[in-house]
Structure 1
Amino acid sequence: MRYVHVDNVEQGQHLGRTIFSGNGAVLLSEGVQLTVYMITTLKRIGVTMIYIKDPLFEDIEIVDIISDETKRAVIQRMGDTFDSIRSGKDFNTKNLNVSIDSLLDEIMKNKDVLVQLSDIRTKDNEMYVHALNVCMMSVMIGIQMELPATQLRELAIGAMLHDIGKVEKITNDEAEDVKLHHTWRGFEVLKNKRELSLLIAHVSFQHHERVDGTGFPRGMQGDQIHLYAKITAVANTYDNLLFDLSLGRRMLPHEACEHMTALADTQLDREIVIHFLRTVSVYPTGASVRLSTKETGVVVGQHRGLPGRPVVRIVKAESGTDLEVKEVDLAKLTTVFIDNVLT
């Protein structure tokens, strides 16, 4: 399958991965033949990139850190949690703990898999997918930093709920300030949950602080910011660079990684950024790329430890109907580079 921009999808192509709604229900199932109406609807609900099936790349396997079943269950429970908060009710931490335990189990089993954020987003599910991605990446960073299991669990819960202040019930007069003050709101919600560690509340409170002291809400710097919050800030920044249009145009993964490297020691903790870059797929499997040789192909494999040097499959049309297929392993061909990602 290939990972393509929705503007380049054609009627009759088949969907490569299932699309979920905000409550975890299936919007479109993997394998469905796309119609003009479906493609138009995907654009309308905010989908930009999707996987499509391609017979030339049908053997490509997208290895995820967590299964679709777990993702669906987490999104459903996150929806229940956020709905409770919106209605001014208390939320059930028991269900949240079940989700976190499932996530941690799967992440630990797949800790050597590179992170690639390829889940299809809609306006309906983006808040939940964002929370899930930030949680997943934060845990992967924590594993790289060799945090013990108890700390990984606290980090996972804090990262999952880092934006909980954005969904708290607010008045119309307060609506304009929600972005600025969601850190305070989240802290107030979480610190009153006695069954949760106070450190979890501080993730929500501090995840927009910057190591140089230019962040908010308190302008904390360096070691004044808790480790969990600094880890979550790195994961949150990456996901936002890829998907948050309010920051400007959405970046591709390799662009976002370069941008985050530039933010090290100012906005982000350098050591944490280095650990993060070891866990993320710079060029996601299924992405179309152009090499320095001017050849174009599709990323079909990854190298743990060398995320910027994937395996690229190139398919050329020869005389008649014959196709020449070759794979270029950039980990071995050190003089060949990826010039551009084609969407």
Structure 2
Amino acid sequence: MLKRIAVTDLCQGMFIHEFCGSWMEHPFWKAKFLLSSAKDLQRILDSGIEEVWIDSSQGLDVPDGSASLSPAEVAAEVEQLLVDGEKNKPVSASLEDEVKRAQKLCARSKEAVVAMFGEVRMGHAIDAERVTELVEEISESVSRNPDAMISLARLKTSNEYTYMHSVAVCALMIALARQLELSEEQVRDAGMAGLLHDIGKMMIPDAILNKPGKLSDAEFKTIRDHPMAGWTLIKDNRSINAIVLDVCLHHHEKVDGSGYPHHLVGDQISLFAKMGAVCDVYDAITSNRPYKNGWDPAESIRKMAEWSKGHFDQVVFQAFVKSVGIYPTGSLVRLESGRLGVVMEQHETSLLTPRVKVFFMAKSKTPIAQQIIDLSKLVGREKIVGRESPEDWNFPRLEELWSGLPSKNGSYFG
């Protein structure tokens, strides 16, 4: 049986099913393993992870009376957290139209970020004017239809992750800033902060960044040093303002003080750094990496909600959910009718009634004629009853259904 427990209740002999935290918060290659050594237990306790899922059918159980939550209890807790408030995201272009523009913008953005990061590696200063122009282009696309740019930027191969992650977090920060009703100047600052938040990773060898196996303690420390390294790289650039510097330095802080590098607590963390923390984690866990495939978007939102009380600011996380949806574009969902579909586009005011392209019947396991349905017009007759894993159904190219774009060598970005 799966149970969620505090790491302080862990002991040798328990089977760890999953860590309740971002992949970059712990030094372990695999999330599922039998905890058999005191050294690994101590590494978990030192990592900042607060909770884990254990499988009592494969290892020791928690003692009677110890606090634990079953999957059903966690699901109820998360559902209450997510379904709160209304979405407010006007669009001026259809997903289909904006995807075509966003595809070209993603390719240009990747080239620009590769060039910019390359200049940083050679010791050159960042061209802030060039960064601003790129942020403006991304901002315009997000204004027309946030789902297109945000979802396309998520579809990256593991070897282009470092660059496209910056583009994706830029788009997410812009959408979140607008959801929080910040000024246009602050929206631009948020976008620039997203684009440059991981600049410190340029100082980390590719062999560590792209290592497919378990990181050593020294390698894990090197990864965790990237916020300070990034801040050091750009702190003397007069064209980069304090907001960008702050997000670069503090996007791995957590509201409970367990983050890094300064273990800030609550309101010691700025609004923009709190925004950066949410956007960074979402794109990281939805993206394929050398050591792990990305989670489905809807599953990622669900996981983040499980961690959110200690990890993220609640107001910021709620706003983020409203900006991308409980079932973000690209999510595989099951409808009450038994049909499977991929989420195409969010509804302007309802988190639970997106447009969905149905294409498969779950019970008979057979394809059906593809059809786009608007769940907001079918209230009481059809609804989403759950998330599904594309891997469980062997749908490896699900993105083609919602984007309409054939992949090229596994990547949409040339």
In structure 2, C-alpha distance between the alignment counterparts of 1:232 and 1:303, rounded to whole Å: 25
Question: Residues 315 and 325 of structure 1 are in contact (CA less than 8 Å); yes or no, is this contact kept in structure 2?
Answer: yes
Paired position in structure 2 for 1:213: 257
Structure 2 equivalent of residue 228 of structure 1: 272
Q: Does 1:304 align with 2:366?
A: no
Instruction: Report percent identity of matched pairs.
Output: 25
Q: 1:330 aligns with which of 371, 375, 379?
A: 375
Q: For the residues of structure 2 that align with 1:212 and 1:156, how far apart are their CA atoms? A: 26
Q: Which amino acid aligns with 2:350?
A: L
Match of 2:336 among 292, 298, 305: 292
Is 1:84 the counterpart of 2:119 in the alignment?
yes
2:285 is matched with which residue? 241
Is the alpha carbon distance of 1:66 and 1:211 closer, same or farther for their aligned partners in structure 2, counting shifts above 3 Å?
Answer: farther
| 2:157 corresponds to which of 119, 122, 140 | 122
**Residues 269, 178 of structure 1: alpha-carbon distance in 2 compared, 3 angstrom cutoff:** same
Is residue 137 of structure 1 aligned with residue 182 of structure 2? Answer: no
C-alpha deviation, 1:64, in angstroms:
4.1
Question: How many Å separate the matches in 1 of 2:357 and 2:190?
Answer: 38
Q: CA deviation at 1:221?
A: 1.1
Shift of 1:80: 1.0
Shift of 1:76: 1.4
Report the alpha carbon displacement of residue 280 of structure 1 after superposing the two structures with TM.
0.9
Letter of the structure 2 residue corresponding to residue 67 of structure 1: A
Q: Aligned pair in 2 of structure 1 residues 254, 65: CA closer, same or farther (>3 Å)? A: farther
Report the aligned-residue RMSD.
3.4
Tell me which amino acid in the other structure corresponds to 2:173. Answer: S
**Which of 272, 278, 294 is matched with 2:316 structurally?**
272
How far apart, CA to CA, are the structure 2 residues paired with 1:274 and 1:114? 21
Question: Against the structure 1 CA distance between its residues 262 and 316, is the aligned structure 2 distance closer, same or farther, given a 3 Å change threshold?
Answer: closer
2 CA distance for matches of 1:81 and 1:110? Answer: 27
Aligned length: 280
Q: Are the counterparts in 2 of residues 300 and 311 from structure 1 also a CA contact under 8 Å?
A: yes
Q: C-alpha deviations, 1:268-313, integer Å up to 9, x for none?
A: 0110111111111444556654323323344455412324322344
CA-CA distance at 1:233 after TM superposition? 0.8
Task: Give the whole-Å Cα distance in 1 for the aligned partners of 2:143 and 2:204.
Answer: 35
Paired residues of 1:288 and 1:296 also in contact (CA < 8 A): yes
CA contact (8 A) 1:301 1:312 kept: yes
Q: 1:215 to 1:326 in 2, by over 3 A?
A: closer
1:127: Cα distance to partner?
Answer: 1.4
- Matching of residue 192 in structure 1 with residue 236 in structure 2: yes
More helix by share: 2
Partner residue, 1:95: 130
Match of 1:150 among 182, 185, 192: 185
Please give the secondary structure, in 2, of the residue aligned with 1:104.
helix
Partner in structure 2 of residue 180 of structure 1: 224
Letter in 1 for 2:233: V
Q: What is the alpha-carbon distance in structure 1 between the residues aligned to residue 369 and residue 123 of structure 2?
A: 61
Deviation at 1:247, TM superposition (A): 8.3
Distance 1:228 1:247 in 2: 29
Q: Are the aligned partners of 1:297 and 1:312 in contact in 2 as well (CA < 8 Å)?
A: yes
Match of 1:201 among 230, 234, 245: 245
Cα distance change, pair 314–149 in 1 and its aligned pair in 2 (3 A): closer
5+ residue gaps in structure 1? 1-58, 318-322
CA 1:272/1:153 → structure 2, altered by over 3 Å: closer, same or farther?
same
Match of 2:202?
167
Q: TM-score, normalised to structure 2's length?
A: 0.59
Normalising to structure 1: TM-score of the pair? 0.70
1-structure distance, mates of 2:387, 2:284: 21
CA contact (8 A) 1:190 1:200 kept: no
Q: 1:63/1:208 Cα in 2 relative to 1: closer, same or farther (>3 Å)?
A: same
Over 3 Å counting, the alpha-carbon distance change for 1:274 and 1:89 in structure 2 is same
Aligned equivalent of 2:62: none
**Comparing 274-283 with 137-146, which one deviates more in the overlay?**
274-283
Name the CA shift for 1:89/1:64 in 2 (closer, same or farther; >3 Å). Answer: same
Aligned to 2:295: 251
